[in-house]
Structure 1
Amino acid sequence: MGYARYVAIGDSQTEGIGDPDGDGGWRGFADRLADRLAASTPGLHYANLAVRGKLARQVREEQLDAALTLRPDLVTVVAGMNDLIRPSFSAEAVVSELDGMFAELTAAGARVASLTFPDLTRLSPLLRPLRHRVLDLNAGIRTSAARHGVMLVETFGYSVITDPRLWSPDRLHASPLGHARLAAAFAEVLALPDSDNAWTKPLPGARRPTAVRTVAKEVRWLTSFAVPWLYRRLRRRSTGEHLTPKRPTLVPVNPPASEPA
């Protein structure tokens, strides 16, 4: 199936944080996916309405109507990570927001793709308390996706998805390699030409860190990322405050001659 209008909605992963575009902005899996779509469907137009720091409720309230106005035939919806790491997290509430988005988008005739979340405990032992949240959220996403015919990228079961090389140092945003793998995963679920399950394969050269290195990494992460994040939450500040989408209207996509990593 070819697509003429692709719209991406969500938070920082969809905006592309962690994947510099070389011009002072961010690329990300959605931009990479748009390039792959355009390679098989010349004339593709693409909009990216995502803004970092948004909760699932905010994505629905601030981005859904704008997406529907663009009359997309393909939409990716990725939201829930910012909810997941908050003390007030409710899997039921997040799934309700996602379900509402899935329902409205599919009712409007768009094909919708989303994903489940990886096992964050493999990224850090300090994230172990979040495992049951991930399991509950993923179960709800699967049920909602099946109800509305949403295509789903399953990330939870693949160990490569939590390889540190696929993540930025903050462990919340994918690295350029991680964004490339996510784009490949969406390409496979969309059955794009030349797509396959290579994105699920482990990276070569993985080494198990020593206990001393592990402790040092955890301390650096706490002081550099976790504590500043908690400080912002206490002040009720969001990284996406006063920001607007990087690509708010449908613009033609000219795919690169070759796909960089």
Structure 2
Amino acid sequence: MRYVAIGDSFTEGMGDERPDGSPRGWADLVAAGLTAANGGAVRYANLAIRGRLLEPIVTEQLDVALAMSPAPTLISLNGGGNDMMRRGADLNHLLELTERAVLRCGAAGVRLMVLSGADPSDHLPFGRVLRRRGELLTEAVKDLTARHDILFVNVFGDAEIRRAPYWSADRLHLNGTGHRRVAGLVLGALGLPATDHRADAAPAPARRLLAEARYYREHVLPWVNRRLRGRSSGDARTAKYPDWTAAPA
């Protein structure tokens, strides 16, 4: 088993940091689950980089994945979330890019698994727009993967993970609890032993004025500033596992 994950911050594992600050995330947990299920070592690479749009994911990252030696046996693909947060997002173009990746993996004889990202819209100031775009893209990708007989893991449609206990302070990225839930959804979709990981059923915390002001100052305004300057949180970053490594325990 040789597993490569490509994508953006969702797949990099942002929000689920180890004590040294390095991201873990659902893909690392899936690689560990694959190792346990196979009873032996699984080679793993994670090419995802935060802030990436879908086009560089299905071109640059997929180019690297398909060129690896030995070739991967499984690739997971997620992307499009950063595109949908921009004005004028072209959902048809995102679907075309996804289908291009599906066809390339099929031609290379590599199994592809496509994921939709978790839905953060309940917690964001522009959430209704993002929810509408996400629903349209998710349904289109669901139809696309069905036509090509590709495994599709619909994390966007998982109502449980929309709850506040699964999200980081920035309300855009999952926390460790959220990443564990996604790993369970993926392993279950692959037909492997998995835990239906659920957070405590506590009510969502009240949003007080001072806390909301701090949230906008620490998270929303820096994001807006990067957009105005044409910058990305992933600028100058490289993949955390750019070549084959043993899957983490």
Change (3 A) 1:173 1:54: same
Letter in 1 for 2:114: S
1:66 aligns to 2:64 (yes or no): yes
Shift of 1:122: 2.1
Map Cα deviations across residues 211-255 of structure 1 (whole Å, 9 max, x no partner): xx3555543332221111011011000111122111111112252
Letter in 2 for 1:205: A
TM-score (norm 1): 0.87
Question: Counterpart of 2:12?
Answer: 15
The 8 Å contact of residues 79 and 117 in structure 2, kept in 1 or not, is answered as no
**Does the residue aligned with 1:8 lie in a helix, a strand or coil?**
strand
Letter in 2 for 1:223: R
Query: What does residue range 142-221 of structure 1 map to in structure 2 within 5 Å?
Result: 142-192=142-192, 194-195=193-194, 198-199=196-197, 203-210=199-206, 213=207, 216-221=210-215
The 8 Å contact of residues 78 and 117 in structure 2, kept in 1 or not, is answered as no
Question: Counterpart of 1:31?
Answer: 28
Question: Counterpart of 2:232?
Answer: 238
The 8 Å contact of residues 118 and 134 in structure 1, kept in 2 or not, is answered as no
The 8 Å contact of residues 113 and 186 in structure 1, kept in 2 or not, is answered as no
For structure 1, which segment, 139-148 or 151-160, has the greater mean C-alpha deviation from structure 2 after superposition?
151-160
Instruction: Number of aligned residue pairs: give it.
Output: 246
2:43 to 42, 45, 53: 45
Letter in 2 for 1:195: A
Shift of 1:180: 0.8
The 8 Å contact of residues 124 and 218 in structure 1, kept in 2 or not, is answered as no
Whole-angstrom distance in 2 between the partners of 1:26 and 1:118 = 17
**Does the residue aligned with 1:251 lie in a helix, a strand or coil?**
strand
Question: Counterpart of 2:219?
Answer: 225
Map Cα deviations across residues 71-127 of structure 1 (whole Å, 9 max, x no partner): 111111011111111113111111211221122113222222122344433224641
Map Cα deviations across residues 177-233 of structure 1 (whole Å, 9 max, x no partner): 1111111111001011x226x24x5x33321444xx355554333222111101101
Which ranges in structure 1 are unaligned for 5 or more consecutive residues? 256-261
Change (3 A) 1:217 1:95: farther
The 8 Å contact of residues 138 and 154 in structure 2, kept in 1 or not, is answered as no
**What is the percent sequence identity of the aligned residues?**
37
Whole-angstrom distance in 1 between the partners of 2:14 and 2:205 = 26
The 8 Å contact of residues 117 and 155 in structure 1, kept in 2 or not, is answered as yes
TM-score (norm 2): 0.91
Which ranges in structure 2 are unaligned for 5 or more consecutive residues? none
Letter in 2 for 1:25: S
Map Cα deviations across residues 34-61 of structure 1 (whole Å, 9 max, x no partner): 0110112212100111111100011122
Whole-angstrom distance in 1 between the partners of 2:212 and 2:89 = 23
The 8 Å contact of residues 91 and 140 in structure 1, kept in 2 or not, is answered as no
For structure 1, which segment, 55-64 or 120-129, has the greater mean C-alpha deviation from structure 2 after superposition?
120-129
**Does the residue aligned with 2:182 lie in a helix, a strand or coil?**
helix
Question: Counterpart of 2:80?
Answer: 80
Change (3 A) 1:217 1:87: farther
Map Cα deviations across residues 120-168 of structure 1 (whole Å, 9 max, x no partner): 3322464122222112111221122112222111223332111111111
RMSD: 1.9
**Does the residue aligned with 2:58 lie in a helix, a strand or coil?**
helix
